[in-house]
Amino acid sequence: MGEVTTDPRRRVPRTDAVLADARLRAAAARIGRPAVKAAVVRAQDRVRAGDLDPAAVADAALAALPDTPGGLRPVLNATGVVLHTNLGRAALSEAARAAVADAAGHTDVEMDLDTGRRARRGRTALAALAAAVPGAGGVHVVNNGAAALALTATALAAGREIVLSRGEMVEIGDGFRLPDLLASTGARLREVGTTNRTTVDDYAAAVGPETGFVLRVHPSNFVIRGFTHTPDLAELRGLSVPVVADIGSGLLAPDPLLPGEPDAAGALHAGAALVIASGDKLLGGPQAGLLLGERALVERLRRHPLARALRVDKLTLAALQATLTGPPTPTWQALHADPQALRERTGRLRDTLAAAGVDVDLVASAAVVGGGGAPEQELPSWALALPEAYAAPLRRAAPPVVGRVVHGRLRLDLRCVPVTADAAVVDAVLAVAGG
């Protein structure tokens, strides 16, 4: 009588047999066969290690597959932070998403279809940006706000000086320091004023033959109060060099909701020669660096060799144009959401969950702009309050629901959650409550 074999390798199902599973074939069509095969191989390794039953290889492989080919998982932002950097800042509008899908194939991004000849790249998106800020003589787009500033410093001040107030030598997220970026372009920084007070005379005394431009930076994510002074842009009109205003958050025109936030149209009207802004913040569009200002100055930046390395792709151009010309963005809608309507909506979810036995409360909340915009300004809101222990399993839900923990309770603020996703929030909470 032969010896019974216990070698686990004899029990591992063949790769081709597992891949023949209808569910895995469908997944391969969606995300690609290599990713599916890699998941199968990992499951087979678990069988060899004795951690998985051979009959469960297909199930384990399916469970380990990414939700999307790109690996980025759509998330429901219930944090109350409208422009949450860790969650990708601005959510694109349906119009922008459709524009991206249309632009994914071959497009006329650099061709005039009437003549069959080469045309300016992204001309329709640039025209839409120019129309949104009529005071700009010229416009250009690069891949983010830092790129816009780097291009400006390189083209206008490499080997020369940039005059900058000490109170605007800012650091933003992940240790990114603006002075380090400027110095990397070969420009020299000429610091003026003090941390809390800088005057027109400070700027005027520093400007000389070596000055490339004066830079004004909106601090964005902090506020200095008390004995402070910063001259208005209009007060700097008399300087003999360009004044560049980095307004950061991407507000193109004034918004009564954000009275303290600078906007591109206002900065240009006040005398800025060039304005730099981000596309994925208050504008509510894709990541992009917007350059608006005097025509000759913008053209100088556009023609600089570095501009080619910083140019945006066709998908960004399409999303930007749709954002500028389309309906109100999710960012605008979240910022201007009516608190009473939020209370009623959140109350309905609370009632549904409470009826199912969930430990849930309806609480007043304070949402914020985020993304470095309008620091200290709060947006009155309402949230579901749940046990703190719900936070982690909700982040692992499908789709993930991300809230924030306040005073030992998890708050889910629906301000940034589409109304169409309310049922998904309820289902996720019920699944966690049910263990």
Each residue of 208-236: pLDDT tens digit? 999 999 999 987 666 777 777 888 999 99
Positive or negative, the CA dihedral 375, 260, 202, 149 is positive
Residue 227, pLDDT score: 76
- Read off the pLDDT of residues 417-427 as tens digits, 9 standing for 90 and up: 999 999 999 99
367: CATH: 3.90.1150.180
Q: Please check whether residue 285 lies inside any domain of the structure.
A: yes
Do 258 and 363 belong to one domain? no
| Whether residue 391 sits in one domain with residue 341 | yes
Residue 70 to residue 312: CA distance in whole angstroms: 19
- SS3 assignment, position 422: helix
Quick one: 191 and 302 in the same domain?
Answer: yes
Please check whether residue 70 lies inside any domain of the structure. no
**Is residue 131 included in any domain, yes or no?**
yes
Digit-coded pLDDT (tens) for 238-267: 899 999 999 988 899 999 999 888 999 999
Residues 260 and 170 in one domain: yes
What's the chain's average pLDDT?
A: 92
- The pLDDT tens digits of the residues spanning 80-131 come to 999 999 999 999 999 999 999 999 999 999 999 999 999 999 999 999 999 9
pLDDT for the residue numbered 372: 75
Q: How many residues does the chain have?
A: 435
Q: Return the CATH number at 119.
A: 3.40.640.10
262 and 362, same domain (yes or no) = no
174 and 285 co-located in one domain: yes
**314 shares a domain with 407:** no
Confidence band for 30, pLDDT divided at 50, 70 and 90: confident
Give Cα 302 distance to the centre of its chain.
Answer: 24
The reply to whether 217 and 340 lie within a common domain is: no
Residues 30 and 167 in one domain: no
Helix axes 33-48, 57-64, angle to 10 degrees: 130
Q: Say yes or no: 320 and 348 in one domain.
A: no
Residue 129 neighbours by CB distance under 10 Å: 27
pLDDT tens for each residue of 130-179: 999 999 999 999 999 999 999 999 999 999 999 999 988 877 766 678 88
Say if residue 220 is in the same domain as residue 362: no
- Indicate the residue among 327, 347, 381 that finishes a domain: 327
**Looking at the predicted structure, is the pLDDT value of residue 61 above 70?**
yes
268 belongs to a structural domain: yes
331 touches 90 (CB < 8 A)? yes
What range defines the domain where residue 54 resides? 8-64
- pTM over 0.85? The answer is yes
Number of structural domains found in the chain:
3
147 close to 310: Cβ distance less than 8 angstroms:
yes
